[in-house]
Each structure stands twice: as C-alpha cells, then as structure tokens.
Amino acid sequence: MSTHTLPFPFPPSPFTISHSLLAWWDAHRADLPWRQTRDPYAIWVAETMLQQTQIATVIPYYERWMARFPTVADLAAVPLEEVLKLWQGLGYYSRARNLHAAAQTVMQRWGGQMPRRAADLQTLKGIGRYTAGAIASIAFGEATPVLDGNAMRVLTRLTDYAGDVTRSASKNELWQLAATLVPDSRPGDYNQALMELGQQICTPAKPACLLCPLAAHCLAWQRGTQPERPVQSPRPRTPHYDVVAGVIWQNGQIEANERFLIAQRPLHGLLGGLWEFPGGKQEPGETLPEALRREIQEELAIEIAVGEHLTSIKHAYTHFRITLHAFQATHLSGVPQHLGVANHAWVTLAELDDYAFAVTNQKIIATLRQVVPDGVNR
C-alpha cells in the first residue's frame, strides 16, 4: 500500500475501497480474450489497442494480431508494411509503428524478454504511464497504479474532485490518489476492476449508482454531483474541409488489369504510413477539379485531366471534419512507371488488398469495385 498523502481529504481507508471493488469485480468481471493469459506481450498488445478505443472494436483486431504475431519475436521480425496492414481501420497508427519498433527494442536490448518493472516498461516506445502500469500490475503483479478515462471518472466522483481534468496538474493529483488506493494484493485485478467499474457502472451519463459497490463511500453520490464530475474545459468546435482525391488510370476506357496510382503518406503525422489516392485540401476560391490538378502537380509532378466524379465521403475525425470528393482522372502524357517519388505505386484493383488504407480511402476502393466491370482485374 502506498504511503503518499492525498492532496485532499478522503476518509475511507484504501483497503475498504479496494476490498469492495475486488468483491464486485469477482462477481461481475467480463470475459475478454486478453484476460485468459498473463503473457506480458499479449497484455501489451491488448492495452495498446485499447488506448482510446472501445473493447468491442478491439476484439477482432486482437484475435487477428495474436494469430499472426503470437510472440514479440514474431512481431519484431516482420516488415512495418505488414503490421500497418493488420492495424488498418483501427486508427491512431503511431500505436502500430511504436509497437513494431518497441518489439525490436525488446529483442535487442532486453534479450527477447519484456521488462518487468513499470519504470523500465515506460522506456519503450508507445508505452506511457498508463500502459506501463497496466502491464506491470496485470502481468507481473507490481502494486503500481493505472489512470485511464474510466478510472479518472470513478475517482473524481468518489472524492467529488472539482479540478479541471484536462489540466495535467489535476491528472497528477488523481494519479497520486490512484497510487494510494492500489493494494499490494491483486493489484492487476484491482486496476482492471477500477476501470471496469467506470465502464459498466460509473458511466459518463446516467451512472448506475444504486448498483455501485463504492456508493457508500462516494462523495458525489452523497452530494448529487455525479453529472458534474469530472470537470472538463470544453473542446473547440471542429472545422470542416473539402478534400479531393484522384483515382488516376491510364485511359478513359478501363482496360483489363488496369493499374491505379496510389501514394504512401509520410511516416509521421495524420494517417502516417498509410496509402491513399493522391490529392489534398481544397483552397478558398478553387473548384474541386482545380484543387485536384494542383495537388497532383505538387505531389507527383504530373499533369492530369479530371474526369467523372466517383463518390463523396463525409468523415469526422476527432478535431475536424472532411468531405472527401473522389474523381476519376487520367494522366495527360501517358503513364510513367517512375515518377521520381519514392512512395508511390501503380497497382491493379486486386493488388490494393495488399496495402493499408484509411477508412475514407477504403470507401473509395469499395466504390471503384462497383464501377470497374467484373472480369477486369480478377
């Protein structure tokens, strides 16, 4: 049990809280794929996929991943392309790149064994304070805290904490509280119980306080302030952009084994390392075809003629929205196989399956498969 003092008064003893929580969890814990093992690598993969991502979304990705890369050695041995392909559609692609790089670090620097202590785990790329605590407590039994969005909601309500949790100073106080509460016995179970309480009972809207094992100790429940916790400063409104993409093929009429031009995005930044149909944002005062011609010229140094509109796709990212307009286009002076651009490829419709695309471009591909007649590219 940690001996840190709380930054605010909270009478119940840590043992009272952890004991009630563990009793509840033993009766109500969900059966999840990554809970059938103590393999630190499996826990690591699951925790990384679960960052900012819901359980139901993660499960099929986790199953595919563990079937394809059962050990850290398997992961370290494959090229990044294959890793990104398996991560396709899961989002936050730096997680996949970091997992891959850290697997190679584990092989080279740690002799193929995951480090056991939270402090050592946190030196690996993509493993921060939360994930280090999760792996160390669940796989190795270290009495170290975790604090995710769920735990933060539970703890702010339990103590009726009024600080703005978007500020890191507030998060530090809550980490301290979390550390105070972690028991020496079953710390991994306790940490999972804390998060699962936030997921199942202490939900953002309409928490089920009547079913909560901690209600007797909960200051927000006593005061009726659950809806006001946690306190968060509002996010700014999300802007909207119109984006164009060119599906570039050789002739106006589709031929057998028609090839399309795709480009790989830079390894860092938005959708880093993924492939896409080339294009970009529309500037003010530009028509969509004008924007497409300009973007293609800047990116690939070729001139195109913009043809038929194929589809428009609305998509919401976290901080902005786009409408992606896809056009058929043809290269005006024949199709160069080498563009002087490193990360591009001419591929058939069937070969598109080998590349990792973001969801917006997956939708363009789906449209393309309907437009291109059967028998071509098959």
Active site residues: 47
Number of Cβ within 10 Å of residue 289's Cβ equals: 18
Q: Which two tokens stand for residue 272?
A: 């880093």
Q: How far apart are CA 111 and CA 120, in angstroms?
A: 14
Task: Answer positive or negative: Cα dihedral of 37, 43, 46, 52.
Answer: positive
Q: Which stretch binds DNA (CB under 7 A): 50-58, 77-85, 288-296, 303-311?
A: 50-58
- Check binding of 209 to DNA (CB under 7 A): no
CB within 8 Å of 364: residues ≥ 6 apart: 245, 247, 277, 310, 311, 313, 324, 326
Per CB under 7 A, does 130 bind DNA? yes
- Whether the ω angle into residue 213 lies within 30 degrees of 0, i.e. cis, is no
Q: Which stretch binds DNA (CB under 7 A): 83-91, 281-289, 324-332, 339-347?
A: 83-91
User: Of the two residues 199 and 348, which places its CB atom closer to DNA in the complex?
Assistant: 199
State the minimum distance, in angstroms, from the CB of residue 233 to DNA: 9
Q: Does 83 bind DNA (CB under 7 A)?
A: no
Q: Token pair of 203, please? A: 């939900």
Q: Which helix (H) or strand (E) holds 63?
A: helix 55-68
- Of 92 and 110, the one with the shorter C-beta distance to DNA is 92
Stretch that binds DNA, among 1-9, 13-21, 107-115, 191-199 (CB under 7 A): 191-199
Supply the minimum distance, in Å, between the C-beta of residue 343 and DNA: 16
- From 229-237, 277-285, 289-297, 345-353, give the range in contact with DNA by CB under 7 A: 229-237
- CA distances to 28, 110, 179, 226, 248 from 71, rounded to whole Å, are 30, 14, 31, 43, 40
Cα distance between residue 46 and residue 63, in whole Å: 10
**Alpha carbons 205 and 189: distance in angstroms, whole number:** 25
User: Residue 56 interacts with DNA (CB under 7 A)?
Assistant: yes
* Residue 127 binding DNA, by CB under 7 A: yes
Residues 90-119 that bind DNA (CB under 7 A): 90-94, 98
| Among positions 2, 16, 37, 51, the unique one binding DNA when judged by CB under 7 A | 51
The binder of DNA chosen from 21, 22, 42, 46 (CB under 7 A): 46
> Which span (182-190, 266-274, 277-285, 328-336) binds DNA, by CB under 7 A?
266-274
263 binds DNA (CB under 7 A): no
Q: Of the two residues 239 and 340, which places its CB atom closer to DNA in the complex?
A: 239
Residues 283 and 281: their CA atoms lie apart, in Å, by 6
CB 88 within 8 A of CB 64: no
Site for DNA in 286-315 (CB under 7 A): 315
Cβ within 8 Å of residue 13, ≥6 positions away: none
Identify the CA nearest to 38 among candidates 179, 217, 192, 247: 192
Do 311 and 326 form a contact (C-beta atoms < 8 A)?
A: yes
CB of 337 to DNA, least distance (A): 29
Q: Which of 28, 129, 294, 344: binder of DNA (CB under 7 A)?
A: 129
One of 18, 20, 131, 264 touching DNA (CB under 7 A): 131
Residues that bind DNA (CB under 7 A): 30, 32, 35, 46-47, 50-57, 89-94, 98, 124-132, 134, 148-150, 153, 166-169, 192, 195-196, 198-199, 204, 232, 234-235, 237-238, 269-272, 315-319, 358-360
